[in-house]
Structure 1
């Protein structure tokens, strides 16, 4: 048995339509509380560490100082000096320029941070795989297509403090295509980990919906289309589950009209898995309870055909064609 968590940044409970998005809503879904940063809205930088530790940002220490991750490792020395020399507004503008015009990706705190600071995570003591989680970088040299695209967006995704969503795009349609490719890559990696049967816990993450949401405030059809496509992608992941497996979707916040909202969401194939999740701080405990109550030991690649992938119909087709 495997629990797979898919973190979908900015998945908004108000934008999930159970009649249209049966895979995003699954057997049960509901809004959960999130945490607002000093910038006045929930922050990706703070919240994924919260989700994997169960701790608030003030407890795990990965806090947003000015809204543009000025505390990122590449900026840390400079930011310590700047705190004494530069007003916060100027720090924010410099940080925005750096993140827009350098190849450094944001949210790249290494997993060793947690060990060094005496923090435990949802992965400790488990046969687990972490895929792209912000501020939990297992191997800093490991880069996939989502990382590569995030670092090379250029004018497709520029920070603009005067824009409604805080960002502008020179070509929203091209940007949309890149973001959906990012989502496909991360979900494909999550599916491969699940299919290997080598893990009791898999946690994949994609920022595709968040990025699209930030530039679609004047083109809401793009965000609508993104939800429809993401629903299809999640459906493919659901198709890889064995009957005894569970899938949990979780977001860090919502996003409407280009801006983060103060509600996140959870959804699951198992209604009981999310019964006690009322906040982003509850996700870790709920998953660990489920892991402790059931046998989630990885089985390895012992079955070549899944029991829920239409094997009977395939066999009948082969029989009708005379191959069996």
Structure 2
């Protein structure tokens, strides 16, 4: 038995409907509270560490300052320069430029950070697969396909303080396609990990919906299409679940009119799994409770799960088409 957790950045409880999004609402779904950062809105950079630790940002120590992760050494230098020679309103733009044009990254805190700082996570002591979770990078040497796509958007996704969503795109339709490709890759990786039957917990994350929302706030047809296609992707994951497997969907915040909202969302194949989740701070406890009370036994696979069976072949072909393998 495996518990699959899929983090969908910006999945908004106000924008899903049971009749049109059965795979995004599952057997039960609900809105939950999130946490507002110093930037004035919920921050992905801070919230996924919160979700996997159950701690507030000031407790786990991964926080934003004016919307930028200045604790990165390179960004820290930029911060000191900006404070001296630039107006405060320009400071975040400098940080955005550094993030876009250097190897500095606000989402690539290594998994080792937590143990080094005496912080426990939902993965500790478990056979678990952590796939693409912001600020929980298991191996910094292994390139991540979604991360690579996100870092090389160029004019398709640029910081723009004049836009309501803080970003603009030279081609929103092409940008949409790139974002859906990113989501497809991550969900395919989650499906592979599930079928491998080597982990009691498979926890993946995708950011495509969030990125689309930031630049398509004035194009509701793209947003609706994104929710419909993501529902299909998650539906394929649901089809892979065994009789005793469970699936939990969780978001860090919603997103409307280009801006993060102060409501996140959870959905699950079991109503009991989300009964006690009132906020993002409760997600870790709910996962651990399910793992401790459910029969999440790991069955060692004796076959190459990337090629064994029709389902594995489908996902392998999908990954090859996308250039991941």
TM-score (norm: length of structure 1): 0.90
- The reply to whether residue 249 of structure 1 matches residue 249 of structure 2 is yes
> Which secondary structure state, in structure 2, belongs to the residue aligned with residue 281 of structure 1?
helix
User: Mapping of 1:111-130 within 5 angstroms?
Assistant: 111-130=111-130
Residue 172 of structure 1 pairs with residue 172 of structure 2: yes
Structure 1 residue 98: deviation in Å? 1.6
2:30–2:267 Cα contact (<8 Å) kept: yes
Shift of 1:93: 1.3
How much does 1:112 deviate? 1.1
Secondary structure of 1:260's aligned partner: strand
Question: 1:57 deviation in Å?
Answer: 0.5
> What is the Cα deviation at residue 17 of structure 1?
1.0
Distance, in Å, in 2 between the alignment partners of 1:73 and 1:135 is 16
Question: Aligned runs of 1:187-226 on 2, under 5 Å?
Answer: 187-226=187-226
Aligned counterpart, 1:62: 62
SS in 1 for 2:240: coil
Retained in 1: the 8 A contact 2:72–2:104?
no
Determine helix, strand or coil for the equivalent of 1:239. Answer: helix
Q: Deviations over 1:249-293 (max 9, x none)?
A: 000000011110000000000110000000000000011011111
2:4 equivalent in structure 1: 4
Contact 1:101 1:154 in 2 (8 A): no
Does the Cα contact within 8 Å between 1:56 and 1:281 map onto a contact in 2? yes
Match of 1:288 in 2: 288
- d(CA) in 2 for partners of 1:157 and 1:50? 26
- CA offset at residue 147 of structure 1? 1.1
Structure 2 distance, partners of 1:229, 1:74, is 38
Runs of 4+ in structure 1 deviating by more than 4 angstroms, as ranges, are: 80-87, 302-305
Q: Give 1:106 deviation, angstroms.
A: 3.1
Query: What secondary structure is seen at the aligned counterpart in 2 of 1:106?
Result: coil
Q: Work out the CA distance in 2 between the residues paired with 1:209 and 1:122.
A: 24
Q: Hey, what's the Cα distance between the residues in 2 that align with 1:60 and 1:244?
A: 33
* Structure 1 alignment gaps of length 5 or more: 312-324
Report the CA distance between 1:81 and its aligned residue.
Answer: 6.0
CA-atom RMSD in angstroms: 2.0
**Who is 2:94 aligned against?**
94
The answer as to whether partners of 2:254 and 2:262 remain within 8 angstroms in 1 is yes
Cα distance in 2 between the residues matched to 1:84 and 1:291: 51
- Classify 1:105/1:146 alpha carbon distance in 2 versus 1 (closer, same or farther; 3 Å): farther
Contact 1:253 1:260 in 2 (8 A): yes
**Judging changes above 3 Å, is the alpha-carbon distance between structure 1 residues 302 and 25 closer, same or farther for their aligned structure 2 residues?**
farther
The count of corresponding residues between Structure 1 and Structure 2 is: 308
Deviation (angstroms), 1:80: 5.2
Q: Deviations over 1:24-59 (max 9, x none)?
A: 000000000000011110000100000000000111
SS of corresponding position for 1:48: helix
In 1: Cα distance, 2:150 partner to 2:113 partner: 23
Gaps of 5+ in 2: 312-325
In 2, distance between residues paired with 1:133 and 1:127? 16
- The question of 1:42 aligning with 2:54 is answered no
Question: Residues 289-317 of structure 1: CA distance to partner in whole angstroms, max 9, x if unpaired?
Answer: 11111221210226999xxx999xxxxxx
- Specify whether residues 236 and 204 from structure 1 end up closer, same or farther in structure 2 by C-alpha distance, changes over 3 A only: same
Post-superposition offset of 1:74: 3.9
CA distance in 2, matches of 1:180, 1:120: 32
Counterpart for residue 279 of structure 1? 279
3-state secondary structure, aligned to 2:62: coil
Higher deviation after alignment, 236-245 or 96-105: 96-105
